[in-house]
Copies of this chain bind each other. A is one copy, B any other.
Amino acid sequence: MNLQQYLSEHQQEHLEMACRLMAQKSVSPTGEGMAECAALLRGMMEDAGLRTEVLKTPGHPILFGEMNVGAPFTVLIYGHYDVQPPEPLEAWVSPPFEPTIRNGRIYCRGAGDNKGQLMANLLAVRAFHKTGERLPVNVKFCLEGEEESSSANLAWAVEQYKEKLACDMVYTADGPQHASGRPTVLLGVRGIQYVQVDCEGADRDHHSGNKGGATPNPAWYLMQALARFWGDSPHEVAVPGFYDSVRPVTPLEQALLDRLPWDPVETARGLGLADDHFASTTAAEFYRRTLMRPTLNICGFTSGYGGPGSKTIIPARASAKLDMRLVADQDPLDIYEKFVAHLQAVTADMTEVRFTVTDLGSMAPSRTSPDRPEAQAVVRAVRRAYGEEPVVMPSLGGSLPDYVWTRILGVPSVVVPYANPDEDNHAPNENIALDCFFNGIRCATEVFVELGSIRSPKL
């Protein structure tokens, strides 16, 4: 039987399978239903023709599955079977763990994030298996149970099971499509390095009159120190060496950036800024700053009194929280060391106060070049599956642990979100549109076909 015909005829069965998985609670932050969900999903993976294994981690286990068809190309499919807590319960129209179809959508916690999407990929493999059609690539699945708990053990596990997870690329279906509703391909994420800088003066707040002029003010010193971390613009970081490892934007990446949808007024409104805020900003500049360049950003600055009215004190301490969004090929540790060295340099003569820095966590950046054949194969597959030119984003502005694939496994990584832009992941009434779900299955089959062609003579 033809594969696409099979998919058409088995929509009801596929829908029921997805709903069965969604109905099984699997809240990783509380642990509720995790073991039951892993068992259910493992059975479905076996039914899809995969040889499965449970990979232990210090937290919830990873479900591993493999179908080796002897193809020259192996794709590792990443996904996660855990979901966010459903609270606030009263905000749900139908109960959060009773998959309910209305308005052409499945409403359920985990519908879009990520059960509906990982099922689409699994059902694509299953379709090859059930129809007997030859899968054009070897497939592996790596489905973790801690994505909603910051993927706390993912990097550890990928190191630990490196050989088992060995592959030619990683493919993920997660997140919503571009706001325009157009099919979307994501090729990277920014990393992050989060730091806290503390500055201490006296051991307690002092009266600003009686002690004013004698007691050092940590807010002043911290402000003066931080002010030297930028040039004239907030987009020019002055930490020596900060930009050294920034990978240049390729002409193809630039072409993709230039093609990204851009409405300056709509963007300003979306951010809650004046309509003309981006009047003199080009699309290229906007996307360069938000996707392709690193940032140094003040997340918080706290010192002394912030309540109503006045309080006349010299604060005893001041504290700033900053995050740096990193881009390929910046390394968080290297950047952290450069940050600390710069702080030491600019505060060398500030002996009246004490500075300390705390590393509050990091995640490496990741970017797969659109010039790579794997990326181009996915773009072709998406274009054919949806019959529409996809939005191809060279990077997201945010941070996800994509580096575990590109840095630890050392392979390209491509993300194709299947869910509707209003999937409301992490929110009440999470959902996935039925056509997004079915399109996702077809997209996955096209991706397998295109990836199978990479190392063939056609290339």
Residues of A within 8 A of B (CB): 190, 192, 194, 196, 201-204, 206-217, 219-221, 223-224, 226-227, 230, 234-235, 267, 271-273, 277-278, 286, 289-290, 293, 295, 297-306, 309-316, 318-319, 321, 323, 325, 352, 360-361, 396-399
Docked-complex contact A304 and B301, CB < 8 angstroms? yes
Chain B residues lying within 8 Å of A399, measured Cβ to Cβ, are: 209
Chain B residues lying within 8 Å of A223, measured Cβ to Cβ, are: 223, 226-227, 298, 301
Docked-complex contact B303 and A219, CB < 8 angstroms? no
Chain B residues lying within 8 Å of A215, measured Cβ to Cβ, are: 271, 273
| Contacts A273-B201, A325-B212; A302 near B299 (Cβ below 8 A) | no
Docked-complex contact B234 and A220, CB < 8 angstroms? yes
Select which of B213, B271, B297, B318 is within 8 A of A235 by beta carbon: B213
Minimum CB distance partner of A206 in chain B:
B271
Q: List 11 A-B contacts (CB under 8 A).
A: A194-B310, A203-B273, A207-B397, A208-B325, A209-B396, A213-B293, A214-B286, A219-B300, A300-B315, A301-B301, A310-B361
Select which of B216, B271, B301 is within 8 A of A214 by beta carbon: B271
Q: How far is the CB of A166 from chain B (nearest CB, A)?
A: 30
| Contacts A212-B397, A323-B312; A298 near B289 (Cβ below 8 A) | no
Chain B residues lying within 8 Å of A286, measured Cβ to Cβ, are: 214
Select which of B224, B300, B325, B397 is within 8 A of A303 by beta carbon: B300
Interchain CA distance A235-B319 in the complex, whole Å: 22
Interchain CA distance A302-B307 in the complex, whole Å: 9
Chain B residues lying within 8 Å of A305, measured Cβ to Cβ, are: 299-300, 321
Docked-complex contact B220 and A230, CB < 8 angstroms? yes
Interchain CA distance A216-B271 in the complex, whole Å: 10
Chain B residues lying within 8 Å of A302, measured Cβ to Cβ, are: 301-303, 306
Q: How far is the CB of A445 from chain B (nearest CB, A)?
A: 31
Docked-complex contact A277 and B209, CB < 8 angstroms? no
Docked-complex contact B210 and A312, CB < 8 angstroms? no
Interchain CA distance A425-B213 in the complex, whole Å: 25
Select which of B298, B311, B397 is within 8 A of A220 by beta carbon: B298
Interchain CA distance A385-B405 in the complex, whole Å: 86
Chain B residues lying within 8 Å of A325, measured Cβ to Cβ, are: 208-209, 212-213
Q: How far is the CB of A99 from chain B (nearest CB, A)?
A: 29
Docked-complex contact B303 and A318, CB < 8 angstroms? no
Chain B residues lying within 8 Å of A318, measured Cβ to Cβ, are: 301
Interchain CA distance A206-B299 in the complex, whole Å: 10
Docked-complex contact B204 and A272, CB < 8 angstroms? yes
Minimum CB distance partner of A319 in chain B:
B306
Q: How far is the CB of A211 from chain B (nearest CB, A)?
A: 6
Chain B residues lying within 8 Å of A303, measured Cβ to Cβ, are: 298, 300-302
Q: How far is the CB of A349 from chain B (nearest CB, A)?
A: 9
What 14 additional pairs, Cβ within 8 angstroms, besides A209-B396, A212-B397, A213-B397? A196-B310, A202-B271, A202-B272, A208-B325, A209-B397, A210-B290, A212-B325, A213-B290, A224-B230, A297-B314, A299-B315, A301-B318, A302-B302, A302-B303
Docked-complex contact B310 and A323, CB < 8 angstroms? yes
Docked-complex contact B298 and A212, CB < 8 angstroms? no
Q: How far is the CB of A287 from chain B (nearest CB, A)?
A: 9
Minimum CB distance partner of A196 in chain B:
B310
Docked-complex contact B290 and A313, CB < 8 angstroms? no
Q: Which of A208, A302, A305, A323 has the most CB of B within 10 A?
A: A208
Interchain CA distance A206-B268 in the complex, whole Å: 12
Interchain CA distance A251-B208 in the complex, whole Å: 27
Interchain CA distance A210-B178 in the complex, whole Å: 13
Interchain CA distance A290-B209 in the complex, whole Å: 8
Interchain CA distance A387-B277 in the complex, whole Å: 72
Docked-complex contact B289 and A299, CB < 8 angstroms? no
